[in-house]
Amino acid sequence: MADEPDEATLDARLKAAAAEGDAATLTGLYRLAGDLGAARGATDAAAFFWTQAHVWALVAGDEAQAEDLAQRLRRGGRLD
């Protein structure tokens, strides 16, 4: 992905969204972090970030994202 942020940028964006309590943005950023981890083969890191994204999707009331993330976690054996 050509427009993906570097680690420091992603971390800064996560911290800013957390400071603002922006659940929708946190969902997207944690999902992106999980996708990046999965692309690198870092399955534990990907699962961690997708779990965070799932929680924030629930907080945001985004049922579609929450279910999609839950399915990813189930496929990886991280959620029953």
Reported as a single tens digit per residue, the pLDDT across 7-32 is 899 999 999 999 999 999 999 999 99
Smallest CA-to-CA distance from 29 within 1, 2, 71, 57 is with 57
Q: Average per-residue pLDDT in the chain?
A: 95
**Domain presence at residue 43:** yes
What is the count of structural domains for the chain? 1
Question: What integer pLDDT is reported at residue 63 of this predicted model?
Answer: 98
- Position 4 pLDDT exceeds 90: no
Question: What integer pLDDT is reported at residue 13 of this predicted model?
Answer: 96
Q: Amino acid identity, residue 10? A: L
Question: What integer pLDDT is reported at residue 55 of this predicted model?
Answer: 98
Q: Using CA atoms in the order 23, 29, 56, 67, what is the torsion angle rounded to 10 degrees?
A: 130
Q: What are phi and psi of 45, to 5 degrees?
A: -65, -45
**Domain presence at residue 80:** no
Q: What is the value of pTM for the model shown? A: 0.92
Q: Which domain holds residue 32?
A: 7-75
Report the interhelical angle of 43-60 vs 63-75 (nearest 10°). Answer: 160
Q: Amino acid identity, residue 5? A: P
